[in-house]
Amino acid sequence: MTPPSDRERIEALRRELHEADLRYYVLDDPVLSDAEYDARYRELAALEARHPELFDPLSPTQRVSGAVAEAFAPVEHTTPLLSLANAMDREELVAFDRRLEEILGPGPRGYVVEPKIDGLSVALRYEGGRFALGATRGDGRVGEDVTANLKTVRDLPLVLRGDVPGALELRGEVYMDWKRFRALNREREAEGEPLFMNPRNAAAGGLRQLDSRIAAQRRLRLFVYEVRAGAEIPRQADVLRQLAAWGLPVARPWSAVEDIEAAIRAVQELGERRDTLAYPIDGAVVKLDDLARSRAAGFTAKAPRAQIAFKFPAEEARTRLEAIEVSVGRTGAVTPTAVVDPVRLAGTRVSRASLHNADFIAERDIRVGDVVRIRKAGEVIPEVVGPVKELRTGQELPFVFPDRCPVCQTPLVRAPGEAAHRCPNPDCPAKRLEGLLHFVSRGAMDMNGFGPAVLGALVASGRVNDPADLFTLTQQELETLPRIGEKSARNLLASLAAARTRPVERLLFGLGIRYVGERVASALMAATGSLAALAEADEARLASIPDVGPQIAASVNAWFQDPGNRRLVERLAAAGLATERQQAPRPASLPLSGERIAITGTLPVPRAEAARRLSAAGAVVEERVGAHTTLLLAGEGGGRKRQEAAERGVRVVGWPELEARMGAGAPEP
């Protein structure tokens, strides 16, 4: 058999990968294993590299473009993108139905009830079944061209399936699912970056990125719910079916019902299922199913008369406030937390809720013993909204915010303009412990075995006050700790040895300087090269470093002004930790120092051996492709890590290249 020509093979692979994306992301019914997907993706990328004349901007390999835009081009919508009127209760839905009867006359009024996705409205244009343009809603008349960012949305089909009209205009919602939202906020917390309040804000930020590689990292998703032009489909239920048949993602569950009473029931059911959905919704949309009559009903200045949004009330619960706990964080911030009688809220059992700060408690007059309303705010930890004053018995106790640190009794201070009270005592054991926990955390020095129990005991005994003290611990001393035997002590020493090989960026992050997250630490080290040089840099120099603003510059400068902090850095250097940036390949440093390598596929050597040799050569071997991964080592087959690497702009290398970098003289463990 003659092999198919490259052109045919490219076309077949593109078709197969488009289909695989659809099955995986839209239908949740994968047809290819990760390894199979990966093999085809690589084959296609290799063929495309050989045939630039066959370039296609809609190839599955082109979801993320390398180019960074200057600004978004304005897009005038062919017809305005309207909004919806809101209904807050059952009566307003009944009134909506009555109005339609007055306008359209008597007759059956069937409705479609859809989830109201809490994201951003987008207009999409397909030409000849191929994705041609995507725009934000903007002011409804003119939006912004976000085509490049929308291409990174995995469930947006680049090419539609089946019989597709020549030109098709659609409307849908870009959103972030709960899983991604929570993971993103965890990443941001580790980086010391502000958290997103809700998935909608996170999605909005992603859609408006000028660099589509950053947009790709947000892993935005899409639901489509309207055909604006290009196809005459008489009923909304059939619109949703047709959209799905073209391979577009349609939010489930939706229902077609025969009258407003049934629609109200469907809205209620959706409200009850809200917590079980993978995506955020803030209500339900009720649409007249008959689209010709829907158009006939006309429009108000901003919304169609035959469609209405029912907004769900924010999810709240009531419970008793049993106590207010006050804890001291790494920076000395003293924060109050409500301990409440456990209650179910949005699908989880809640026993603690945020009280923010002293002002919040005072302004809302929250008292211990109150029945309080709690709600999910940023969805991570619930917050107290306020007391239910009608239910007071007179037994409630006003809360007096402590004026001394609950741990070391030092009088608290409050900087002008700051909400938080802080413990100013640099030797406060609570701050020390929190600081050490940060130092050993995964994003910093990643020191296995040093958990709260071990560190708590070391701090309590007075043996360890700061990170440098850790590196003076002996096997014998470690063995005296509760529940630490000879073997655990040896592991702790190994963990200390491993910490000595961590790149200086991670050490700097681990020091816990205010506003210095992982990314800023990397930027500071890239610019100055060593902790000694960083200590000498003045504020102006610091503020001139990319990603470093005046607030960060002032904080870093102040930290290094403190003689105790300077001594700490000297002691860490004396303990053998890297305090200079290691630039491979310098003879003094290891050949892979500074690299953080994830592995995928089958390598020519066993994976465990590869991992050992990479670590011995100075690399950090990572479980997955993360924000700080520098290389993806890929062998035969492999998984979606390759795609993630492409999305994050991480270079993919083969084993032979790394072996060459490690060199013949690379230390064999």
Query: Active site residue: 116, 151, 376, 641, which one?
Result: 116
Binding segment for ligand IVH among 27-35, 80-88, 257-265, 330-338 (CB under 6 A)? 80-88
Residue of the chain from 48, 97, 114, 191 that contacts ligand IVH (CB under 6 A): 114
Residue of the chain from 35, 45, 58, 82 that contacts ligand IVH (CB under 6 A): 82
Binding segment for ligand IVH among 111-119, 317-325, 442-450, 639-647 (CB under 6 A)? 111-119
Query: Which residues share a beta bridge with 596?
Result: 620
DSSP 8-state class, residue 143:
E
Q: Taking CB under 6 A as the criterion, which residues in 274-293 touch ligand IVH? A: 285
Residue of the chain from 21, 48, 169, 173 that contacts ligand IVH (CB under 6 A): 173
- The count of residues interacting with ligand IVH (CB under 6 A) is 14
Query: Which residues share a beta bridge with 323?
Result: 339
Q: Which is nearer to ligand IVH, 226 or 434 (CB)?
A: 226
Residue 319: phi, psi to the nearest 5? -160, 170
In angstroms, the CA 384 to CA 337 distance is 9
Binding segment for ligand IVH among 19-27, 40-48, 52-60, 115-123 (CB under 6 A)? 115-123
In angstroms, the CA 214 to CA 145 distance is 16
Rounding to the nearest 10 degrees, give the CA dihedral for residues 331, 334, 335, 336.
160
Residue of the chain from 150, 203, 309, 553 that contacts ligand IVH (CB under 6 A): 309
Q: Which two tokens stand for residue 555?
A: 């904080």
The amino acid that residue 222 corresponds to is: L
- In what helix (H) or strand (E) does residue 553 lie, and over which residues does it extend? helix 550-561
384 C-beta neighbours (distance < 10 Å), count: 26
156 half-sphere exposure, CB direction, 13 A CA radius = 33
Q: Which is nearer to ligand IVH, 236 or 579 (CB)?
A: 236
Contact by Cβ (8 Å): 509, 444: yes
**Could you confirm whether 116 is annotated as catalytic?**
yes
Degrees (nearest 5) of the Cα angle 324, 186, 547? 115
Task: Give the nearest distance from C-beta 84 to ligand IVH in angstroms.
Answer: 4
HEC letters along 255-315: EEECCHHHHHHHHHHHHHHHHHCCCCEEEEEEEECEHHHHHHHCECCCCECCEEEEECCCC
In angstroms, the CA 444 to CA 508 distance is 8
In angstroms, the CA 83 to CA 285 distance is 11
Query: Which residue sits closest to ligand IVH, CB atoms considered?
Result: 121
In angstroms, the CA 371 to CA 550 distance is 44
- In what helix (H) or strand (E) does residue 319 lie, and over which residues does it extend? strand 316-328
Q: Which is nearer to ligand IVH, 83 or 410 (CB)?
A: 83
Residue of the chain from 126, 225, 246, 559 that contacts ligand IVH (CB under 6 A): 225
Task: Give the nearest distance from C-beta 510 to ligand IVH in angstroms.
Answer: 43
Residue of the chain from 60, 192, 206, 304 that contacts ligand IVH (CB under 6 A): 304
Q: Which is nearer to ligand IVH, 285 or 553 (CB)?
A: 285
User: Chain-centre distance of CA 65, in angstroms?
Assistant: 21
Task: Give the nearest distance from C-beta 21 to ligand IVH in angstroms.
Answer: 23
Q: Does 117 bind ligand IVH (CB under 6 A)?
A: yes
In angstroms, the CA 366 to CA 389 distance is 9
Q: Does 239 bind ligand IVH (CB under 6 A)?
A: no
Q: Which is nearer to ligand IVH, 285 or 619 (CB)?
A: 285
Residue of the chain from 10, 22, 84, 264 that contacts ligand IVH (CB under 6 A): 84
Q: Which is nearer to ligand IVH, 220 or 428 (CB)?
A: 220
Positions touching ligand IVH (CB under 6 A) are: 82-84, 114, 116-117, 121, 173, 225-226, 285, 304, 307, 309
Catalytic residue set: 116
